[in-house]
Amino acid sequence: MTRRTPTTDVALIAGFAALIAVCAILPDIKTGVGVPYSLQTFGVLLTGAVLGPVRGFLSVVLYLVAGLVLPIYSGGASGISHYSGVTAGYLVAFPLAAALCGYLVYRNHRNATQFTLVFTCGLLSSFVFVHTLGPLNLAWRADLSLKEAFSFDAAYFPGDIAKNVVMALIATAVHRAFPDLAARRSPATTTDEPATQSA
């Protein structure tokens, strides 16, 4: 079993932060129902499912910090002003969703190559954080009722389900190719060990 090193961890964290940035700045996917979908949440949940709770969380935080000065938020936006706007709840939810998805996948590491498990972990994490904190902040910032905010957010559910399907397909393929990613290790060799860490 390959020993994980701090250098490898840093490279993975930085690499997946870059992946999220690419997903965020790609043009939105247009749909026939008039709701555009970005790949930002896809990148966030894939990061958690592949890297686990700690590295996944840190990777998304790195992306968010970089976005303060670089145009890598959704649509090529940047700046701290996004944390006082209508999308702030979604941004805050991203690292939490990645951490929860990673925790659930790594806790069930023996089944990390099973599509149903990874898909469920991703979708659950998205609904627990992204589709909760996002509309709550939207209601506050846009002076909407909770019903209006959650109804607006619900329009993105179909796209979120589709993105989680693709995420699970890719994540399970990665875990099949690199089974050591989610394998149990001793505390001395990993920071993402679910049995010995409170990630």
pLDDT digits (tens, 9 = 90+) for 157-168: 999 999 999 999
Residue 30 lies in a domain: yes
Residue 189 has pLDDT above 60, yes or no: no
Count of domains forming the chain: 1
Residues in contact with 168: Cβ distance below 8 Å, sequence separation at least 6, in sequence order: 49, 115, 118, 119, 122
Q: Report residue 152's pLDDT band, with 50, 70 and 90 as the boundaries.
A: very high
Rounded to two decimals, the pTM is 0.89
Q: Taking residues 171-189, what's their average pLDDT? A: 76
State how far the Cα of 28 lies from the Cα of 114, in Å rounded to an integer.
29
State how far the Cα of 36 lies from the Cα of 139, in Å rounded to an integer.
20
Q: Report residue 185's pLDDT band, with 50, 70 and 90 as the boundaries.
A: low
Residue 1 lies in a domain: no
Which CATH number does the domain housing residue 131 bear? 1.10.1760.20
Helix residue ranges per DSSP H, the chain: 6-25, 40-51, 53-66, 88-107, 115-125, 131-141, 146-154, 157-177
Q: What's the distance, CA 129 to chain centroid?
A: 10
State how far the Cα of 142 lies from the Cα of 139, in Å rounded to an integer.
5
Residue 67 has pLDDT above 60, yes or no: yes
Residue 71 lies in a domain: yes
Q: DSSP letters along 85-141, please?
A: STTHHHHHHHHHHHHHHHHHHHHTGGGTT-HHHHHHHHHHHIIIIIHHHHHHHHHHH
Around 113, how many Cα atoms within 13 Å sit in the side-chain half-sphere? Answer: 11
Structural domain containing residue 55: 6-181
State how far the Cα of 29 lies from the Cα of 35, in Å rounded to an integer.
9
Q: Which range is least confidently modeled, 16-25, 32-41, 63-72, 89-98? A: 32-41
Residue 197 lies in a domain: no
Residue 45 lies in a domain: yes
Residue 190 lies in a domain: no
Q: Taking residues 78-84, what's their average pLDDT? A: 95
Residue 43 lies in a domain: yes
Residue 156 lies in a domain: yes
Residue 97 has pLDDT above 90, yes or no: yes
How does the average pLDDT of the chain come out, rounded? 90
